A and B are shown apart, each in its own frame.
Chain A
Amino acid sequence: MRRAALLLALGAAAALAGGPPLRSRKVDAAVEALQPSVVKIFGAKGFRGIYGYMTGVIVHESGLVLTRGSVTLEEATAIRCHLHDGRRLTATLVREDRRSRMVLLRLAGGEGATYAAARLGSSAALRPGHFVLLLGNAYQVALGAERCAVNVGVVSAITPLAMREGLFDLPYDGPVILHDAMNNPGVFGGPLADLEGGVVGISGTIVESRETNAQVHYGIPIDDLRGFIDDTVARPDAPRNYLPPGEPEGDGPEAGAPGHHGIRVLRGGVNRSTPAYVDRVVPGSPAAAAGIRPDDLVLRVDETRIKGWKAFEKQMDRYRAGDTAKLTIQRGDQVLLVSLTLVPEPSR
């Protein structure tokens, strides 16, 4: 029975065969669907080391274009946009989302003009291994009616990029879409789409990990930008800086009293690469209460890998009174996780 079934399968397969392998037309179709909404954006020139051109996507038919913010857009007297059919329009910067560094522009096409808005997909449905298309005007190769380039990759991971470690210059602390489609200057702000042609993310800049020197391509998930878009559509006269509901004003996590933990590490003098061995523990401190001992080696503070004594001190300086830090410690041949809640610095 099994063999007959296999033979049948082979026969049917042979009948179906013919035509080029890798027949998927998904990428072609998705690109076709998206191109009308993809905009080539040109900002002010003359900024050293910063590219004055990028890509954006029309997210509302009234001519709202979502892209990544840049000083070249802020400083431009007139932001120029080339639409997919070659139409050249100016645009003004109307709204910014500081967290994600994304901005919304409005096309100056005239009263009542409408534009092809992209279909927004769902970034929540993305998984590692899903294909993504990255559209953008890499190296300004495309002008006028020439089409933005498409690069294909897969989602590598969906994860926060550890902003607080300072490993990446990213003000955004939510999960981002990491992928292996090549991002390049000119593509920043362009759409990341799934195989169905729905926009699932907006491309950020290329960031380099200070730990590994590996470059990482990321996109901000579209679900996290819907609030920004919807609020701007609903309230055309809203203030320029978008604040998500519930976000407190203020300086952020750095505000607050300096925290005290009680760990004194062995200082290696000039040699920063001496690992962070605990030299002594201040009696009565949170570290003492948590059971940290001399000769413990601090491997990690929360997500940050600690490379040396100086790195440890610098990292702990970020924590304020009341913050909790999870330390990964090596003691002998054991590795332990210890939670520390910092208290205010004791008065001298």
Chain B
Amino acid sequence: MTTPLLLLCLLAPPDEPDELVALQAVLSRALERISPSVVTVTTVGGIRNVEIPERAKEKMTVPERPREEREEGEGCGEGEGKERPEEPEGSTPRFPNEWMKMLAAPGFKKAEGPTTGLVISADGHVVTSAWNFDSKPQVVVVTTAEGATHAARLLGIDRASGLALLKIDATGLAVPAFLDPKEVSVGAWAFAVGRALTRSGVDVKYGIISAKNRVEGNALQTDAASSPTNYGGPLIDVEGRVYGVLVPLGARGEEVNPNWYDSGIGFATPIPDPARLIERLGKEGTVLEPAFLGVQMDEERTGEGARVVEAVEGQPAAKAGVRKDDVVLAIDGTKIRNAFALRFEIGRRRAGDVVKLSLLRGTEAVDVEATLGPRPKEVGSDERLPVPLPGPGEERK
């Protein structure tokens, strides 16, 4: 095999291949590799309208359509310094309520329709996003790559990561390769794969890994377009290995509305250990909630470890005996570099999990065990709100 190849190369040295042309070929192979594990998930029935949070019921103003009027007359052109017609008052969402307005629109119906799922065990465990399950559908149907349709049972939902686990009766299903999030690099190619746009194959959108440790440490961020068609589907690398499963989470782990679709901000929850996921979510009716430790950390600290400013009374840390000025050096044996590292470690755990905290109290090493509680509802008053970008002709002060 090598010899003829050698001869061929000597005879006809090629130009350096183009990276994008090569990527097309590589991606085709990756799609072939992942396709057998990608399924369509459809739900039937259930509540149609979803509860809109109180604060979001304020009148939502919609940014006006981009201006298309230009100068009347024979030519189209803009004079320099020309006066523009005044924008109608209230036509643009104002900061800071803008953030809240973005979260929901009045009368917002949650979108339905087919979404995607990913096989994680040969005997029929399928991971998808929790997207359609808020509405408590009566029937869930999974259609595999071969076209076979199966009725599916909903086993568990993980609210912290946006995943739902389904079970179908099947054997010999293809299971993909999963990547450890620690090995993932920002800037690597990332492709969002779904099976809901077409019946005859998978659909793909391209992008990169935009960031790690988003959504309290639970998700990778990508700019590949994500929307209900590929929620529940895999985000893959160029070799078809799974970075994670696309989930409809917003910036703070809340549910998204249609405005977020294809916005270039998407999240994928990694599945480094499918067996463990099946273990945690495999019992029908399981609902996992995000974990809460109940400490305020010193974010300015420069030394190793994370210093506790306050262990909130009545919360898991205080109950476990954590005190002010304790420095958390490790959690379950994992070294903690700073307050953010601790935050993400807790973020990856769930309410009810028991964690061992290795503390430094003065000069003494102290170990405590804390049972993590559920995260209290955030009022959001100290939320940092992004300064809105102006669009053409929108600015008003």
Task: Give residues in A with beta carbon < 8 Å to B.
Answer: 16, 22-27, 42, 45, 51-53, 80, 88, 127-131, 139-140, 143-144, 153-159, 178, 180, 182, 185, 195, 209, 211-216, 273-275, 297, 299, 303, 305-308, 328, 330, 333-335, 337
Contact = CB atoms under 8 A, between A and B. Distances in A.
17 contacts: A22-B19, A26-B20, A27-B20, A42-B76, A52-B68, A131-B206, A155-B204, A157-B203, A159-B198, A178-B198, A195-B24, A209-B229, A211-B114, A212-B113, A212-B114, A212-B196, A299-B44
Contacts, number: 155
Nearest to B17: A24
Interface string B237-278: 000000000000000000000100110000000000000000
A305 B42 CA distance: 9
Interface string B44-74: 1111100000000000000000101110000
A297 B20 contact: no
B138 interface: yes
> Which 10 A-B residue pairings sit nearest by Cβ, starting from the closest?
A211-B113, A159-B198, A212-B113, A129-B27, A157-B203, A213-B111, A214-B227, A180-B205, A335-B149, A156-B203
B392 interface: yes
Given A154-B204, A178-B203, A335-B150, A213 B20 contact: no
Nearest to A329: B149
Interface residues of B, number: 56
A52 B67 CA distance: 11
A178 B227 CA distance: 14
Contacts of A22: 19
Given A131-B20, A178-B203, A273 B46 contact: yes
Given A213-B261, A275-B139, 19 more contacts: A24-B21, A25-B18, A128-B31, A128-B202, A129-B28, A139-B392, A140-B68, A154-B204, A159-B199, A178-B197, A178-B198, A180-B262, A182-B262, A214-B111, A214-B227, A215-B261, A273-B46, A274-B45, A330-B139
Contacts of B23: 131
Contact of B205 (A16, A53, A156): A156
A151 to B, nearest CB: 12
A171 B274 CA distance: 44
A274 B46 CA distance: 8
B294 interface: no
Contact of B28 (A127, A213, A214, A335): A127
Residue with the greatest number of chain B CB neighbours at <10 A, chosen from A23, A159, A335: A335
B141 A299 contact: yes
A157 B19 contact: no
Given A195-B18, A305-B42, A211 B199 contact: no
Residue with the greatest number of chain A CB neighbours at <10 A, chosen from B75, B149, B261: B149
A139 B47 CA distance: 39
B138 A275 contact: yes
Contacts of B150: 335
B66 A139 contact: yes
B54 to A, nearest CB: 23
A89 B68 CA distance: 20
A28 to B, nearest CB: 11
B135 to A, nearest CB: 9
Contacts of B114: 211-212, 305
Contacts of B16: 16
Residue with the greatest number of chain A CB neighbours at <10 A, chosen from B46, B47, B198: B198
Contacts of A216: 197
B225 interface: yes
Nearest to A180: B205
B200 interface: yes
A330 B45 CA distance: 13
A200 to B, nearest CB: 13
B77 interface: yes
Contact of A335 (B141, B199, B201, B229): B141
Interface in B77-133: 77, 111-115
Nearest to B205: A180
A154 B228 contact: no
A215 B228 contact: no
A83 B207 CA distance: 32
